Chain A
Amino acid sequence: MGCLFTKHIKQIPGYEEPTVLAGETSFTVSEVEALYELFKKLSSSIIVDGLIHKEEFQLALFKNSNTRNLFADRIFDLFDVKRNGVIEFGEFVRSLSVFHPNTAISEKIEFAFRLYDLRHTGFIEREELKEMVLALLKESDLCLSDDVVETIVDKTFSEADLNGDGKIDREEWKEFVARNPSLLKNMTLPYLKDITIAFPSFVLYSEVEDSD
């Protein structure tokens, strides 16, 4: 069984079967297939090798392959689970699944924590938070005095660092997010529920009918 199209895509490095990925994520098989359309577009925008390189990710996010950004770097690093400098299809789908509207809030909380734990210490430290605020200000061409930045960071820490040890641990992060649910709004992409409408071409070739 299988058509020429299917045989062709199986040769791409890092390709995984949509049925397998759908079983492990919030996506249906059709949605994974539609995501493959998006993945193909992103992974061939500069280097046609079926892998998303950092420059291709930046090009998709900023319309400029040279635009560096702390947060885009962090997202890329988290998507690049194998830490080999590129995002493979399976990594792309599993990571994007965190942003699916149906994914458990606990997964989103954990992903956001890892995103903001810049140095992988298991804590969001004060210096890391300040570094992120400064990066955001620079990105936005906003100018705030160091005193104001310190005050913003201090205030956030006074609310989030419940045990006052100068760093935010996972439990404190969970409590802080529970009190400030809007912090997770960028962890959900409504588009992902309509992905088969946005990228419908693969659906014509779909071998498997979704059961739900």
Chain B
Amino acid sequence: RPVMMNAFELISTSQGLNLGTLFEK
């Protein structure tokens, strides 16, 4: 149920915050 989502949890899934991508060859 989307209304129960924590907004910050939602935000933290952004691809722009996934710095692990920098380490991909």
Contact = CB atoms under 8 A, between A and B. Distances in A.
B15 A156 contact: no
* Best-surrounded residue of A71, A135, A140, A159 (most CB of chain B within 10 A): A71
B23 A191 contact: yes
Contacts of B20: 189, 191
Interface residues of B, number: 22
Contacts of B6: 152, 155-156, 159, 180, 183
Nearest to B6: A156
The majority secondary structure among interface residues of chain A is helix
Nearest to A177: B8
A155 B4 contact: yes
Nearest to A60: B22
Contact of B15 (A42, A61, A115): A61
B12 A186 contact: yes
Interface string B5-16: 111111111111
B17 A75 contact: yes
Interface of B: 2-23
